[in-house]
Amino acid sequence: MSTSDDRGTSLGRIAWQRLRRDPLAVAGMVVIGLAVCIALFGANIRPDPTPWANRQVLGIRDQPPGFKVPMLKVPRADRSTSGFFGRMLFGGSEEPFSLLPLHAWTLKGDTVLVEEFNGHNDLVPGEEYRIPLTELSAFPPGSLMTVP
C-alpha cells in the first residue's frame, strides 16, 4: 500500500519550498516581478502627454534646437490597427495624422498645393503635394496648422 508520503516529492517542489523559506530570495522575486510588470505595462503607467515629444519630422532634422516652421496635419491613410498586446509591446497607438513641414502653400479650388520645407528651399524646391480639402475636413477648424 502506498501513501502520499511514499510517492515522494518532485525536485521542483522541493526547490520552490526552499526558495520560499529564504526572505532575500522572496524579496528578489518581488523586485524581478515588479520590473517585468513595469516593462510590460510601462506605456500605460507613464504615458507622455507632451504635445511636441520627439515627433521625428525628417524635413527639419538638421535644424538647430528651437527652430520653428508651420506644420500641416495630414490624415494618415495607412494607419495600422493593433490590438491590446500590440499596443503593449510597441508603445501605444499611432497618431491619426502625419506632420508635413511647410515652406509655401496655396489654395486652388478644392485642393491645397503644398511645398514641403527641406531646409534649402531657396536652392532646391521642396516636394509638392496636392491635398484635397475633403481629407483635411476630418480635423476641427484651427487644428490643421501648428507651429511648435
Read off the C-alpha cell for 143.
487644428
Rounded to an integer, what distance in angstroms lies between the CA atom of residue 131 and that of residue 137?
11
Residue-by-residue DSSP string for the chain = ---TTTT---HHHHHHHHHHH-HHHHHHHHHHHHHHHHHHHHHHHS----TTS----GGGTTSPTT----EEEEE-S-PPP--HHHHHHHTS---SEEEEEEEEEEEETTEEEEEE--S-TTTSPPPEEEEEHHHHTTSPTT-SEE--
Q: What mean pLDDT do residues 125-134 have? A: 83
Rounded to an integer, what distance in angstroms lies between the CA atom of residue 44 and that of residue 144?
28
Residue 114 has pLDDT above 70, yes or no: yes
Per-residue pLDDT at 81: 63
40-93 per-position pLDDT tens digit:
887 777 766 666 566 778 778 888 888 888 888 877 776 666 677 776 666 666
Are 36 and 64 members of one domain? no
Are 85 and 133 members of one domain? yes
Are 88 and 129 members of one domain? yes
Are 30 and 68 members of one domain? no
Per-residue pLDDT at 109: 87
CA dihedral 39, 45, 48, 49 (to 10 degrees): 160
Are 74 and 95 members of one domain? yes
Residue 129 lies in a domain: yes
Are 62 and 37 members of one domain? no
134 against 136, higher pLDDT:
134
Residue 1 has pLDDT above 60, yes or no: no
Cβ atoms of residues 47 and 108 within 8 Å:
no
CA dihedral 130, 71, 49, 84 (to 10 degrees): 20
Q: What percent of the chain stands above pLDDT 90?
A: 15
State the pTM of this model: 0.53
Residue 5 lies in a domain: no
124 against 54, higher pLDDT:
124
Residue 53 lies in a domain: no
Rounded to an integer, what distance in angstroms lies between the CA atom of residue 9 and that of residue 119?
72
Residue 127 lies in a domain: yes
Are 26 and 88 members of one domain? no
Q: Tally the domains of the chain.
A: 2
Residue 16 lies in a domain: yes
Residue 52 lies in a domain: no
Task: Provide the domain limits for residue 82.
Answer: 58-146
Are 34 and 75 members of one domain? no
Residue 50 lies in a domain: no
Per-residue pLDDT at 65: 83
